[in-house]
């Protein structure tokens, strides 16, 4: 790491790689450029986090909600990846860099302020209408990352989540929220 | 979620030093990106980063996504080892697109 303090954004994997989304979840062919362009305009170094769902459930995984993913084994998987991310955050923090984190608020794994919930989802995957709800709280990986950072004595980065799958998604609200984060 | 999923099924594994210079081109070509570790990390962190990169690549390859490599040589051998551990052969090199011919027009 160089001695010059940098601005560094740790971003959810799918913001650079829409192919990692659950089938039906991609919004773009390759990357979610509203975030990527803004980070570049503001001079942020991009650090892409792993996609825990892709690595665990595969590219053909079904949609899921927090209650389905919240198992000890999935948490161990997320913690393994969180150790990697925390190690990199630690190196940046040690260099005095300004670190932010951008997740995805419709994700049971990468949600920052919201995460999808449906306690009744189980069994045959034939739900016609998505009747999950978005509840306040972190996704599983974000929880494990915060726990790992705490164990290492590292501060939690300022953070927010992309909400492009919210029914009332407002690009102007999201831009304002991101601009406040990237102050 | 939607049935109209525009994913490209094309992914470039990109060296950190090439990410910024190639982002516009990769976006234009519809590539998703998997970022390789930056220089300056300790060997243990690099190994963990490349291990999860290889897991992602293996899963995409298993599902017939196109995966190419835009490499700067920093971790070539380590990446090949991580891929080989999962039975994935070395990735084909990403072909950098030539500049637009309009940029080659002389100022006359």
Q: Is A5 on the interface with B (CB under 8 A)?
A: no
DSSP assignment of A32-78 equals -HHHHHHHHHTTPEEEEPP-HHHHHH-TTPPP--HHHH-SHHHHHHH
Q: How far apart are the first and last CA of chain A?
A: 23
Dump pLDDT digits (tens) for B53-91.
999 999 999 999 999 999 999 999 999 999 999 999 999
In a domain, A2, yes or no: no
Judging contacts by C-beta atoms under 8 Å, the chain B residues touching residue A29 are 6-8, 10, 30, 32
Structural domain tally of chain B? 1
CB contacts of A21 in chain B (<8 Å) are 5, 7
The residue of B56, B66, B70 whose CB has the most chain A CBs within 10 angstroms, and thus the best one to mutate to test that interface, is: B56
User: Token digits for B37?
Assistant: 């570790």
- What's the predicted TM-score (pTM) here? 0.94
Per the domain annotation, does B106 fall within a domain? no
Give the position of tokens 């551990």.
B85
> What would the pLDDT profile of A35-62 be if each residue is shown by its tens digit?
999 999 999 999 999 999 999 999 999 9
Question: For chain A, how many structural domains are there in total?
Answer: 1
Kindly give the interhelix angle for A33-41 and B16-28, rounded to the nearest 10 degrees: 130
- Tell me how close the Cα of A27 comes to any Cα of chain B, in angstroms: 6
Query: Is the residue at A1 inside a domain?
Result: no
The answer to whether residue B102 is domain-embedded is no
Q: Is the ipTM of this complex over 0.90?
A: yes
Nearest to A12 by CA among A108, A136, A130: A108
Contact B26, A25 (CB under 8 A): no
Question: Per the structure block, which two tokens stand in for A146?
Answer: 């915060």
In a domain, B35, yes or no: yes
């Amino acid at each position: 790491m160089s001695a010059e303090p940098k601005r560094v954004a740790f971003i959810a994997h799918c913001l650079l790689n829409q192919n990692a989304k659950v089938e039906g979840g991609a919004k773009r062919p390759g990357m979610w450029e509203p975030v990527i362009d803004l980070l570049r305009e503001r001079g942020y170094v991009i650090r892409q986090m792993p996609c825990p769902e892709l690595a665990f459930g595969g590219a053909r995984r079904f949609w899921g909600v927090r209650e389905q993913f919240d198992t000890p084994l999935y948490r161990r998987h997320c913690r393994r990846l969180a150790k990697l991310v925390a190690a990199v955050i630690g190196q940046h923090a040690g260099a005095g860099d300004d670190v932010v984190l951008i997740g995805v608020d419709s994700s049971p794994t990468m949600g920052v302020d919201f995460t999808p919930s449906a306690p009744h989802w189980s069994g045959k995957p034939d739900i016609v209408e998505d009747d999950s709800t978005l509840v306040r709280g972190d996704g599983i990986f974000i929880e494990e990352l915060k726990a790992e950072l705490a164990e290492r004595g590292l501060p939690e980065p300022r953070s927010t989540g992309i909400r492009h799958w919210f029914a009332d998604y407002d690009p102007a609200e999201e831009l304002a929220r991101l601009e406040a984060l990237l102050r | 979620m939607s049935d109209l999923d525009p994913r490209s099924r094309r992914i470039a594994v990109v060296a950190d030093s090439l990410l910024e210079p190639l982002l516009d081109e990769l976006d234009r070509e519809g590539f998703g990106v998997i970022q390789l570790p930056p220089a300056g990390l300790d060997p243990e962190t690099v190994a963990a980063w490349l291990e999860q990169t290889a897991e992602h690549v293996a899963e995409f390859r298993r599902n017939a996504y196109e995966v190419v490599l835009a490499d700067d040589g920093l971790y070539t051998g380590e990446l090949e080892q991580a891929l080989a551990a999962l039975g994935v052969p070395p990735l084909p090199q990403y072909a950098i697109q030539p500049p637009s011919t309009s940029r080659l027009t002389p100022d006359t």
